[in-house]
Every structure is written in C-alpha cells, then in structure tokens.
C-alpha cells in the first residue's frame, strides 16, 4: 500500500504530471489529431483518464487514503501535462494528417 498524505501540493502535482494514463491517452490522441484545435480535447481526455486511474487505484485500496483533497488541482495539473504530451504527439507524427 502506498502512503499518500492528504492535501500535499507536491503529491497533487506529481500525481498529475507522472500519471501514466494521462501521458498515454494525451499522446495517442494528440498523435491522431488532424487539426490543432483538437489538442486541448486530447489533453482533457488524458487528464480525465489519469484521474480515473487514480480513482480506481484508490478504490481498490492501493493508496492509504481515498480522498486526496486536491482532486481538482490534480485534474488541472493533469490537463497541463496532457497538453504537453498531446502537442508532442501532434508534432512528432505530422505524416498521419492529410494536408
């Protein structure tokens, strides 16, 4: 079981930035985006997937507490992180889009 302190800003940032679901979903959706306007949608989807992964892990008892106290902050940090990953996916795979 992982020990997480309730509302620790450093933990909120780390959970938002290093969440593998956020990284994977935002990168893959950014990679398949055919217009730059879809990048924020990919970032939000990544942040939401990351939050769902956190919620699932907390529900299964992998964390010592269920409510972190900064879930909204974790979603916002996840969105910012997802935006970076979505842009990377969009820029690294331009051949997938029609010009």
Mean pLDDT to the nearest integer, 56-68:
75
Q: Does 4 map to a domain?
A: no
pLDDT at residue 78 in the model: 94
Mean pLDDT of the residues in the chain: 85
> Which tokens go with 91?
């820029």
Considering its fold, how many domains does the chain have in total? Answer: 1
The model carries a pTM of 0.83
The better pLDDT of the pair 11, 97 is held by: 11
**94 vs 99: CA distance, rounded Å:** 9
**5 vs 78: CA distance, rounded Å:** 19
Supply φ then ψ for residue 94, to 5 degrees: -75, -20
2 DSSP β-pair partners: 63
pLDDT at residue 79 in the model: 96
| Domain residue limits at 33 | 9-94
Position 99 confidence tier, pLDDT thresholds 50, 70, 90 = low
Q: Does 99 map to a domain?
A: no
Contact indicator for 65, 6 with CB cutoff of 8 Å? yes
Q: Does 2 map to a domain?
A: no
Q: Does 87 map to a domain?
A: yes
């Amino acid at each position: 079981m992982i020990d997480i302190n309730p509302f620790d800003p450093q933990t909120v940032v780390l959970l938002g930035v290093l969440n593998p679901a956020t990284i994977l979903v935002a990168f893959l959706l950014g990679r398949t985006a055919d217009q730059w306007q879809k990048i924020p949608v990919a970032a939000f989807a990544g942040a939401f997937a990351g939050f769902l992964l956190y919620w699932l892990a907390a529900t299964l008892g992998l964390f010592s507490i269920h409510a972190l106290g900064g879930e909204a902050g974790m979603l916002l940090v996840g969105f910012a992180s997802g935006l970076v990953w979505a842009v990377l996916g969009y820029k690294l795979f331009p051949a997938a889009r029609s010009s």
